[in-house]
Amino acid sequence: MADGREILYFDREPTPRDAVDTRDLPQVANRSQLRYDALLGEWVAIASHRQTRTFLPPADECPLDASSPGRPTEIPESSYEVVVFENRFPSLATGVDRDVPPTAPGAPLAELRPGYGRAEVVCFTDEHERVFADLGHDRARLVVDVWADRTETLGALDGVEYVFPFENHGEEIGVTLSHPHGQIYAYPYLPPRVERILASVDRHRESTGGDLFAEVEVAERSGPRVVTANEHWTAFVPAATRWPYEVQLFPTRRVPDIPSLTDEERDAFVDVYLDVLGRFAHRMDTPMPYIASWNQAPVRAGREDWWLHLQVFSFRRAPGKLKYLAGSESGMGAFITDTNPEDVAEQLRALVLP
């Protein structure tokens, strides 16, 4: 790209790609830092340069569309299938300034590190008005292969400990660009959710001798909260969901990450995933905003204990009503859910999709 960022094109058939980014762009400012919260035992990324990122542009000015005469965008080509490129406003970057003091100003317990890592954008299609639920099987399957490719590539970077593909969908979720896209973060540490799950797996093994992931997967696969399933995947509402609407997708075979899925398992995932997204789109009067969050194994520690799964959840609790993370959730991290998991599963399961 014109400012030195990397861009990658993924096509189902070999396609010549030779367009040149003609824009006059300044070099990307990578000023991120990581600061350690000693009380919580968690890392926080400080990325104040992201305040200037593009925010809800008109549809005819979207930077994720393909380029056209007189209108160059982030993607120089005039059409594309799936594109991955480095975020112009990254929260983590490989080219970040490594020369940082050891601690935050006036806080000797707040260890400071460079905001090293990688933040990538994944554009699912060049059609601005489409959504993932409407991609169709073949294009969605290509996206799965892209996630697998990027997981392997980013996981091989020195210092990366976790690779996180995700999609924010809907303005209510906080999406600032309406073009259908997702992101991938490569963290230099284990995110809190992953650390907590691994600690629970260890604690369960020590106290019972059992395999926590396997026990949860087997129980949910035959339980009352299953929404849809096939031979290779089960989609269910978790028993203790935090969100008004949440579905988790587990493969039947234990694998640590997306690259470990076979071709047959990837095909089967697409079938179940598009079904779930269709149910989210038709449960209420308008499609629900959602976050799709891949829970993969860490790059190194704990891989043998992990079971790959995907969370799809929405903040919408009823037509026109959102679940706000207010005092209990935001202040104490203690979630109070406005819906009943068994009822949610029945509502989603009973939908007749067009």
Q: What residues act catalytically?
A: 181
The span from the first CA to the last CA of the chain, in angstroms, equals: 41
The set of long-range contacts for 19-28, using a CB threshold of 8 Å and a minimum separation of 24, is 19/67, 19/76, 19/77, 19/78, 20/76, 21/72, 21/76, 22/72, 22/76, 23/72, 25/1, 27/3, 28/3, 28/4, 28/86, 28/88, 28/89, 28/90, 28/93, 28/95
d(CA 98, CA 307) in angstroms, rounded, equals: 34
Residue 66, strand partner residues: 75
Q: Determine the Cα angle at 176 with ends 173 and 180, to 5°.
A: 85
CA distance 299 to 250: 19
Backbone phi, then psi, for 249, in 5-degree steps?
A: -115, 120
